[in-house]
Amino acid sequence: MVKKLPIWFLIFFTSLAFGQISDLIKTEYTYIPKANSNVGYDRIRALFNYPIKLSEDSFCIVGLDYSNIDISFDSSIDAFDTEAIEDFQLLDINLGYSFKMNKDWRFGVRVTPGFSSNLVKSMSFDDVVFSGDIIFINDKKKDPNVTKPYRLIMGISYSENRGIPFPIPFISYYRKFRPNWSYNLGIPKSNLQYHLSEKSRFKLLAQLDGFTANIQDGILINGDEVAEKINMSIIVGGLSYEYHFGRHWELFSTFGNIFFTNAELRDSKNNGIISVNKDNTLYLKTGLRFKI
């Protein structure tokens, strides 16, 4: 069993919140080779959000976020049946609403029911997960009266799929401090951006990745304990390149180094039972998105 993670790490876990709300369409592929560890990771993800304008200052969003995750274990593992937990399906249904409170602040709320499971049989209530976010946004990125454009997001987030059984506060702050330079400090990513041109930019980034999912019927660990959940959490730092084409399309690719990995099986109360060797170092992600 691993030790409890420090609170600063848990705060990073508020990952998606409304940080993805500008992505209307996105497909991406993430690859973490096993290297010297006992576990590898492949993830194919597809996201679709549809905004609906309700008035001049309010809108709602409906969408789907689907992932197929393939985990590869080393053949030397004999403490549990690895074949039962090699494939996982995740689906979130995004339902969001936002309105302008005054000239400076916008309010947003999102509820995200879904499921996260290995789905070796019909889906049950144990596979269901729930997420929710409440945020306040002060966006001055395009305000002509602001010398150094910025955006501040504050709020609270809860997600069963991230494996944390309580709401987490968060803050995200963006500022453009030079014509070609900007940074973002916060959740789920922190980065330093260099805008090479209007169409392309580089990012030095630090971010969190991973998932939590139900294991249907559980699996026996060392013959005497039953694991009912799997969790994989990653802190990665690296370099990303983004290229814009058309008005809203963007290609992106990230090459990173993994600084922390937590890969473990948990019981029904979310207590860790067994942790696998996870000395992964390489992190690769590439994809395409349509942004507003």
Q: Which domains does the chain have, with CATH numbers?
A: 7-291 (2.40.160.40)
List the pLDDT tens digit at each of the 292 positions of the chain.
Answer: 334 444 444 333 333 334 455 678 999 999 999 877 888 889 999 999 998 999 988 999 999 999 999 999 888 888 898 888 999 999 999 999 999 999 899 999 999 999 999 999 999 999 999 989 999 999 988 888 888 889 999 998 888 776 566 787 778 899 988 889 999 998 777 999 999 998 999 999 998 888 899 999 999 998 889 999 998 888 899 999 999 998 889 999 999 999 888 888 999 888 889 987 667 789 999 999 998 7
| DSSP-derived secondary structure letter, 222 | T
Q: Which long-range contacts (CB under 8 A, 24 or more apart) does 61-64 make?
A: 61/21, 61/94, 61/95, 61/96, 61/97, 61/98, 61/110, 62/93, 62/94, 62/95, 62/96, 63/93, 63/94, 64/91, 64/92, 64/93, 64/94
- Cα separation, 41 vs 283, whole angstroms: 10
Between CA 233 and CA 220 the distance in angstroms is 22
